[in-house]
Structure 1
């Protein structure tokens, strides 16, 4: 089934060119089914790129998905045109009384700051609490996952001596998990961060399960059933060229940056990177959506009632 997004959203043209099925509002209302409502709190600087990355994965699932783009209420995005933000995004205060089958919180370029120094930290904490009463399934990514682990479980983030940057091999530690259905035992995922959370800091009574881990870069995916959440510390949603763009951007800015590891063929930045994680990205998001579909209440007013 297709994904329903605003007709004029720039991501629509990108997704249509890739063959992702899109649905117009007029067509969606004719189908006698309830679409899954998914909210995306997009904290990434390149919001247009992130919209396409997430919508691509949601649109490949066999269910009708309605995507709502959400922004922080008082934070002004500096890297995205204001007309795009005001045309396609709702601030959280305006949608906080609504309920969502799923809610995604992205990473943000603030990971080296202490959490309490992030200008929107207090509002993000309110949003995380709100997901417990108004959202059925939560999916957090990179810094968003670190923030959720800190807020819900008090887990600290640790600075790295050098950036974890590249495409790293990971292990499937829970093959029986519904979220890892169809996953290989060994697979690759892009990583791009200056900080990490550690297995040793997982509280013994948290109820969390480590689903994916890398020998080189540590924790990747935690299942947090107590909060109806998956915490993904890496960037399985990235495009083939995302790491290359980060690398060349930093080089152009005169920053000291090592080449992303295990990424460029023969470690040659002049060669186009190959995508070795696309299929697993689709699997993970497809499994997450399917799990939501199997367990979310049909009556949206009941969403979050058990946790709220």
Structure 2
């Protein structure tokens, strides 16, 4: 089944060129089925890239999915046009009375700040609090995962001695849990962050399960025991070239940045990197949509 997105969203052409089935509102309304309504709080600066990455994964399931994009009203985005936000995004105030089957909160390049120093932290905590009664299951990515661990479970992030940057091997701790159904015992995933969270604190929290971790990158997939919150500290949604683009960006700024680890063939930045995580990205998103959203959400919200 297709993903339902606005006709003029720039990501639509990208997805159609990749032969991903997309649908517009008119056709979706003609089908007598109950679609899933997913809210995406996009905190990334280059919003259009993130839109395409997430929609690519959400569109590859047997479920019809309606997407609504959310942005923070208290923060002015500098890397996306005002017209794009006005046409395709909404704010919490406009959706407060609505219910959503699932929500995604993305990462954001603000790890150097304490959570309370982020200028939209109060608004983000309002979203996370609102989600407790208006969202069936929430998927939090990278900084969004760290923010969720801090707000919901009191687990703070800490600064790493050097950036966790590259593609790392991960192991599965609980292979019978539905979120990792179909995963290999060991799999690759990209990371790009300056901070991490404590494996010990996660394991000692009665409300959380550490599903997957990496010897090099630390905790990766964490799920709450009530299945309302899934925290992924890396970026399975990334394209093959995304880490390379980040590396070139930082080099052009004169920043002290190392090559992303285990990324370029033979550590040669002139060679095109291979996507080693695509299948597990699709598995994660399809498992989340199926087992934690579709199977759990009410057909009709009260």
SS at match of 2:151: helix
Contact 1:173 1:211 in 2 (8 A): yes
| Alpha-carbon displacement from aligned partner over 1:83-119 (angstroms, at most 9, x marks no partner) | 1111100011111111000000000011110001000
Give the corresponding residue for 1:300: 301
C-alpha displacement at 1:24, in angstroms? 1.4
Give the corresponding residue for 1:251: 251
| Alpha-carbon displacement from aligned partner over 1:266-302 (angstroms, at most 9, x marks no partner) | 100000000000000000000000011111100023x
| Alpha-carbon displacement from aligned partner over 1:142-176 (angstroms, at most 9, x marks no partner) | 00000000001110101011000000000011110
Q: Does 1:21 align with 2:21?
A: yes
Give the corresponding residue for 1:50: 50
SS at match of 1:275: coil
Give the corresponding residue for 2:187: 187
Give the corresponding residue for 1:305: none
Give the corresponding residue for 1:232: 232
Give the corresponding residue for 2:128: 128
C-alpha displacement at 1:198, in angstroms? 1.0
* Structure 2 unaligned regions, length at least 5: none
| Alpha-carbon displacement from aligned partner over 1:167-200 (angstroms, at most 9, x marks no partner) | 0000011110110110000000000000000111
SS at match of 2:295: helix
Change (3 A) 1:96 1:203: farther
C-alpha displacement at 1:22, in angstroms? 0.4
C-alpha displacement at 1:66, in angstroms? 0.2
Give the corresponding residue for 1:140: 140
C-alpha displacement at 1:207, in angstroms? 2.0
Q: Does 1:67 align with 2:67?
A: yes
Contact 2:155 2:201 in 1 (8 A): yes
1:205 and 1:234 mapped to 2: Cα distance?
A: 21
Contact 2:69 2:89 in 1 (8 A): yes
1:80 and 1:24 mapped to 2: Cα distance?
A: 23
Which shifted more, 272-281 or 78-87? 78-87
2:225 and 2:42 mapped to 1: Cα distance?
A: 23
Give the corresponding residue for 2:165: 165
Give the corresponding residue for 2:266: 266
Give the corresponding residue for 1:284: 284
2:202 and 2:168 mapped to 1: Cα distance?
A: 22
1:94 and 1:239 mapped to 2: Cα distance?
A: 31
2:246 and 2:203 mapped to 1: Cα distance?
A: 34
C-alpha displacement at 1:203, in angstroms? 6.7
Contact 1:153 1:203 in 2 (8 A): no
**TM-score, with length taken from structure 2:** 0.98
SS at match of 2:13: helix
Q: For this pair of structures, how many residues does the alignment match? A: 301
1:83 and 1:253 mapped to 2: Cα distance?
A: 28
2:196 and 2:74 mapped to 1: Cα distance?
A: 28
C-alpha displacement at 1:227, in angstroms? 6.2
What is the RMSD of the two structures over their aligned residues, measured on CA atoms? 0.9
**TM-score, with length taken from structure 1:** 0.96
Contact 2:53 2:237 in 1 (8 A): yes
Give the corresponding residue for 2:216: 216
Contact 1:156 1:201 in 2 (8 A): no
1:218 and 1:71 mapped to 2: Cα distance?
A: 29
C-alpha displacement at 1:42, in angstroms? 0.1
Change (3 A) 1:147 1:229: same
2:205 and 2:241 mapped to 1: Cα distance?
A: 40
Contact 1:132 1:227 in 2 (8 A): no
